[in-house]
Amino acid sequence: MSSHQATSGNGLNAEQLRNSLASIAASNGIRRWDLGAACSTDISVQVDRGEPKQMKGAQRSSITVRVWNDAGLVGVTSTSDLSDTGLERALTGAKEASAFGNADDIPAFSPLATAPLASLDQPIHQPQGILRLLDTLKGAEQELLASHDAIATIPYNGLAERSSERIYLNSDGACRQQQLSTASLYLYARAEEAGRKPRSAGAVRLAYGAGDLDVAGCIHEAAERTISHLNYAPIETGRYTCVFSPEAFLDLIGAFSGLFNARAVLDGVSLSNRDSIGETLAVPFLDIHDNGLHPGNIGASAFDGEGTPTKRLALLEGGVLRNFLHSEATARAFGVSPTGHAGMGAKVSVGPDWFEIGTTPGSDGGQAGLNRFKASEPIVWIDSLSALHAGVKASQGSFSLPFDGWLIQNGEPRSIEAATVAGDIRQVLKAIVGFEGDAKVTPDGLCPMVWVEGLSITGEA
């Protein structure tokens, strides 16, 4: 072990990290570099019918360094070894990799890497400790088990606390640092009745500290959703008007976020192209913004992997494509400013933060007064989608996905035994009928219930 380690206790020491990097870079003839570092400590518990199942702790650290060589080409290396030895190996590895940098697409420092950051209201909570987490989770499990005779196990459950810190530094003097504490709870119940198939459903809650978690709400939601699937029946294959829950619609939009991704556009794998800005992609009453700064976004980052500040960005307004998500390099290629959506790497990735989906201000918002339980014809309520990694063809626009949900007829919901929903995202965006209810804050964004007509449902009937 070398004498220096760029961590102090459970956190990162930005000044020491900068000094170490600068010194190692200078001694290796490296003049231009930047770095992203992350460090976290986690504890988590799982229980099984009153007994602790597994208790876990983790201390993680990682850095990614980029180096520009004398020819201006970029190389990158990652390591979890934050000792001076590890940093030197990373820097020299990046220098070696820079010989293979892509001369046609050279990332640069973000022009916004020193711009002011938004102030985030993210209170830091001290960890409660594993024994209190265990007590809380045991109590939650007991309460959920008691909520219905059919619920015999909570096979997937967990309560976790995390303290984390991240840094962005570059050789031009940029220095970003952010600390965060978060907690999460998930409860996934399994229910079974004699002669019937097992059914399951769950709920998740996030907060800045374990003491702020809505434990009761999570128990109630997991119980209610599980019980609501007990009375199930097959559904006939056909076309239905579907009502997506906020979570399900956000999953679908997230899976096709390549529509808004400048990197995917430049790579030729997006459904959009360089000239798509200004095109109508959706019904005229749909707005989609990306807003990592929303107060509901637990775990929001104030800056992206290149140090660019996070901001609210209009993607669709009135159904019209307004902006792409950008890194520094894609923004330069499009002649715009970086938007704060970059990762860090030799080939910089671009991705969304947190969606806000809803009605275009001033529009009619589609059909008024939508209510699942008053629909005149059978409709399918899609509560959650699964297997998005397998059932989504992002570059083709098509999807075919299993889902949990209910068939609603005459105002009565009945759980659907097993089914898939299939379609094309471009058709979905133009087949939105309207929104139902208020927008709901979820871990992935803000969205109301979304009605879409004419989707193909395959059931076992």
Partner 1 sequence: MIAAAPPTTGVLDSHWSPALEDLLASGRAAGADLVEVFLERTDHLGVLAEQDTITSVTPAFGMGAGIRVFLGKRDGFVSTNDLSPAGLRRALEQALGMLGLATSANGRSSFDGLPALRDFAASKGDWLQRCPQIQEATARLLEGTDQLQRQGSHLQARRGSYARDWQEVLVAASDGTFGRDIRLHQSVGLNVLAADGEHRAGVGRRYGTSDQPDDLRRWDATASAAEVCGSAGTMLYADYVEAGQMPAVLANRFGGVIFHEACGHLLETTQVERGTTPFAERVGESIAHEAVTAIDEGLTGGAFGSLSMDDEGMEAQRTVLIQNGVLQRFISDRAGELRTGHARTGSGRRQSHTFAAASRMRNTYIDAGPHTPEQLIASVDKGLYCKSMGGGSVGPTGQFNFAVEEGYLIENGQLTKPVKGATLIGEAKEVMPRISMCANDLELAAGFCGSVSGSIFVTVGQPHIKVDSITVGGR
Q: Which residue in the set 38, 105, 296, 440 belongs to the binding site for partner 1 (CB under 8 A)?
A: 105
Nearer to partner 1, 106 or 175 (CB): 106
Phi, then psi, of 231 in degrees rounded to 5: -85, 85
User: Using CB under 8 A as the criterion, what x/- string covers residues 112-131 for binding partner 1?
Assistant: ------------------x-
Q: Confirm or reject binding of residue 422 to partner 1 (CB under 8 A).
A: yes
Least separation in angstroms between residue 236's CB and partner 1 is: 10
Strand, coil or helix: what is 150? coil
DSSP codes joined into one string, 91-125: HHHHHHHHTT--TTS-----TTTTSPPPPP-----
| Window 293 to 352, contacts with partner 1 (CB under 8 A) | 345-347
Q: Is 388 exposed, middle or buried (0-12, 13-18, 19+ CB in 10 A)?
A: middle
If you search the block for the tokens 């804050």, which residue do you land on? Answer: 441
Q: Is 21 exposed, middle or buried (0-12, 13-18, 19+ CB in 10 A)?
A: buried
Closest CA to 21 of 119, 90, 106: 90
DSSP structure class, residue 366: B
Q: Which residue in the set 209, 254, 299, 459 belongs to the binding site for partner 1 (CB under 8 A)?
A: 459
Residue 243 CA to residue 224 CA, distance in Å, equals 19
| Window 36 to 75, contacts with partner 1 (CB under 8 A) | 48, 51-62, 75
Q: Which one of 280-288, 352-360, 420-428, 430-438 is the stretch in contact with partner 1 (CB under 8 A)? A: 420-428
Q: Confirm or reject binding of residue 1 to partner 1 (CB under 8 A).
A: yes
Residue 170 CA to residue 63 CA, distance in Å, equals 13
Question: Could you tell me the two tokens for 247?
Answer: 């979570």
Residue 13 CA to residue 113 CA, distance in Å, equals 19
Nearer to partner 1, 103 or 368 (CB): 103
Least separation in angstroms between residue 423's CB and partner 1 is: 7
Q: Confirm or reject binding of residue 267 to partner 1 (CB under 8 A).
A: yes
Q: Which residue in the set 111, 254, 318, 402 belongs to the binding site for partner 1 (CB under 8 A)?
A: 402
Q: Which residue in the set 11, 111, 139, 155 belongs to the binding site for partner 1 (CB under 8 A)?
A: 155
Q: Confirm or reject binding of residue 163 to partner 1 (CB under 8 A).
A: no
Q: Which one of 111-119, 213-221, 356-364, 400-408 is the stretch in contact with partner 1 (CB under 8 A)? A: 400-408
Nearer to partner 1, 151 or 313 (CB): 151
Question: Could you tell me the two tokens for 75?
Answer: 């190389």
Q: Confirm or reject binding of residue 200 to partner 1 (CB under 8 A).
A: yes
- ∠ CA 323-432-294 to the nearest 5 degrees? 45
Q: Confirm or reject binding of residue 241 to partner 1 (CB under 8 A).
A: no
Q: Which one of 12-20, 24-32, 388-396, 437-445 is the stretch in contact with partner 1 (CB under 8 A)? A: 388-396
| Window 9 to 28, contacts with partner 1 (CB under 8 A) | none
